[in-house]
Amino acid sequence: MRLLLLTTLFCGITSVQATLTATFSSGEKSITQQTRMPALHVEAGEAPAPGLAPGAFTTHWKGTLTIPKRYRINFSYEIKGSFTLKVDGKDITFAEGQSTRLRLNQGEVPIEIHYTSVADGSGSFQLYWEERKEFTREPIPSTAFKKEALTINSAHLFAAHNCVQCHVTGDLGPLAMPELKYAGPDLTNIGDRTNKSWLIRWIAQPDHLKPSTTMPAMVDHTKPAGAQAAADIGAYLATLTTGNPSPSPDLTSTEAGGAIFHNLGCAACHTTPSANEPDFENNRIPLNNVAAKFKGSSLISFLKKPQQHHQAIKMPNFRLNDKEAESLAAYLTKESTGNHTPDPSEFPPGDIARGKKLTTSLNCAACHEGLPASTAAKVAPAPDLVNLTDWHKKGCLAPQENRGRAPRLILTDQEKSALNPATIAKVVFDTPAAYASRQIEGLRCISCHAHDGRASLLTAVHSETKSLLAHIKGQDTRLDQSLPSLTHMGAMLNTSFSEKMLNGTVSPRPRPWLDMRMPSFPLHAKSLAAGLARQHGLGSASANDKLPAADQIKLGEKVASMSGYACVTCHAQNEKPAVAAFEVQGINFGQIHQRLRPSYYHQWMYNPARLVPNTKMPRYTNEDGTGLRADILDGDSKKQFEAIRAYLQSLQK
């Protein structure tokens, strides 16, 4: 069970993750990894793959297409560089950028692609296909490939456990993983926020309170000396306070807080605060220790701004107002009271002076700011990992009997074996696409959003908290509450808009009818937005602010009107409301141009259900690709949709 928990957290192991094998080669060095789709975008001076230095490179993709029924396919491409393609053992030739039609039978079809970058190490590649009766020209999606389990990502483990904070590694350079700069929580005035008893228990055995934690166990609580050390450190940290106590949450708004807990979809990442057993199967973070941990009104402050004392925290910012934060804190506090995880051992009284010395000798300041200068004094440095050839003989990764004073990392034996000197190259040469893959897993994006054929966890567990809405009338008559899929997000959104969404600065909300709201991840916004695009072989993009010709705008307004395709039935146009959105609204037309890349817009308009199977958006093309309205622009759907896009562009704010 423990192995399943950690491999899911750090490595993305799942039986439904669509992957290809990609071998990147530069000079005499080659690296093989798994990737979502045959696509890449590399700028000159960037690493083509994690662990590979910048420079001219080749990429060889090898995988298996899963074909649901007999297709007749035309392949095409967008490229900077050169490539060859082999499908079902046959070399595919191209004329003017497009292949001849190829019959693919139902089942598994092998595919191989060999790509060569330009001489300066830059390159880009996207492989398209088209089945004239089924779908228009589109990038081959990640869901088209045979599903395989992912392997352990040792670089992610290395960064998540803050190895570089203690170990000397030298200058890692500008292409190193961004996570290597992330510190642990700031302990400034930690005694104002956290109860001493919880601090002691956390230091003694952090994985007992939070099984998925990356905080190492700095003491051996099973021995008297270790239990005493935990008590001493906890006693000292509890003295780091301003001395100004804050009032505890008012528990009268518990019922309202429970409704917020459900409506925000908190069950996607957390078990309920009354559940005192961890959910190892789904790797959800327990909340049963909330009342035991937080002191005074600190929980309210935390819910309003989780990043205040820990910039790299995984907990997102839902931008709660005062009333929401107070109500949610009341619910969490009341429901978790008395349900805390039992103590792993008895603890003697702590000695503050000894605790202060221990924070120095254990080098706690390496990961945590906020400790007095005396605790940040130099200690004996940990071994230089660059020059250490065997990471497993002694220290953090060694068996318990050879670990010495090194901490106990919360890792399985399999994960420890994956960490080795080769990991250094992977963390030194990182890529935006790899960063996005790590954060999709690490930030638990797939807990709320479907991804690559993998359903969101929320769809399976949200019913657990539905009873929290029992006191509210009309819950069964609300608008559709389905959340957008992440599968195409990097190809769908302009990176400038993605970044704003992740920063929490988009206003108004694109889907204001949802009870749930997109939280913000300020630390990750810029890099994650860029990485999502790179996964699809795309660079960063922003909306073009130049207005189209007036006659094109007027034509597009007509096509979108009630006398055309009646788009305004469901979509508002800035302050002008939709005519009659019966079951669910559409996104306001004033936001579309800033949001969508033109290529995705046309792919969506051709057949929305191809991209989002449960969409309420109707299809406006016939099977042959012509528009449903033959009387508009001679039935040319591409011209019709481009006219609508011109109108949408005129509405942008």
Residue 305, pLDDT > 80, answer: yes
Considering only residues 147 and 364, tell me which one the structure prediction assigns the higher pLDDT: 364
Q: Quick one: pLDDT at residue 11?
A: 34
Q: Which band of pLDDT confidence, cut at 50, 70 and 90, is reported for residue 319?
A: very high
Note whether 234 and 355 are within 8 A (CB): yes
Residue 373, pLDDT > 80, answer: no
> Mean pLDDT over residues 442-467, rounded?
94
Which of 337-346, 374-383, 481-490 bottoms out in mean pLDDT, i.e. has the lowest?
A: 374-383
- Within its chain, how far is the Cα of 604 from the centroid? 24
For the chain, give the percent of residues with pLDDT over 70. 94
Q: Quick one: pLDDT at residue 88?
A: 95
Q: What are phi and psi of 114, to 5 degrees?
A: -120, 120
Residue 565, pLDDT > 70, answer: yes
Residue (of 45, 143, 126, 129) closest to 537 by Cα position? 126
Q: Which band of pLDDT confidence, cut at 50, 70 and 90, is reported for residue 626?
A: very high
Regarding beta strands 90-92 and 82-87, do their DSSP bridges make them parallel or antiparallel, or are they unpaired?
antiparallel
Where residue 487 falls (left for φ over 0; alpha for ψ -120 to 50; beta otherwise) is: alpha
The packing angle between helices 550-560 and 637-651, to 10°, is 110
| pTM of the model as a whole | 0.93
d(CA 397, CA 411): 9
The two tokens of residue 39 are: 């696509």
Complete domains list, the chain, with CATH: 18-144 (3.90.182.10), 488-536 (no CATH), 550-651 (1.10.760.10)
d(CA 176, CA 190): 31
Q: Which band of pLDDT confidence, cut at 50, 70 and 90, is reported for residue 17?
A: very low
The two tokens of residue 389 are: 């050839």
The two tokens of residue 137 are: 């020209």
- Within its chain, how far is the Cα of 166 from the centroid? 27
> Mean pLDDT over residues 606-613, rounded?
93
Instruction: Report whether the peptide linkage leading into residue 508 is cis, meaning its omega lies within 30 degrees of zero.
Output: yes
Q: Give the helix/strand (H/E) hosting 648.
A: helix 637-651
Q: Residues 158-187: pLDDT tens digits?
A: 999 999 888 877 788 999 999 999 999 999
> Mean pLDDT over residues 533-556, rounded?
96
User: Tell me, what DSSP letter sits at residue 16?
Assistant: T
Give me the DSSP letters along 503-526: HT--SS-S-TT-SS---B-TTTHH
Is the alpha carbon torsion for 625, 630, 636, 638 positive or negative?
Answer: negative
Note whether 330 and 250 are within 8 A (CB): yes
d(CA 265, CA 358): 40
- Within its chain, how far is the Cα of 157 from the centroid? 16
Give me the DSSP letters along 529-577: HHHHHHTTT--------S---HHHHHHHHHHHSTTTT-GGGT--BTTBP
Other CB atoms within 10 Å distance of the CB of residue 430: 26
Q: Give residues with Cβ within 8 angstroms of 343, minimum separation 6.
A: 201
- Within its chain, how far is the Cα of 426 from the centroid? 20
The two tokens of residue 502 are: 């992740």
If you count them, how many residues does the chain have?
Answer: 653
The two tokens of residue 183 are: 């510190």
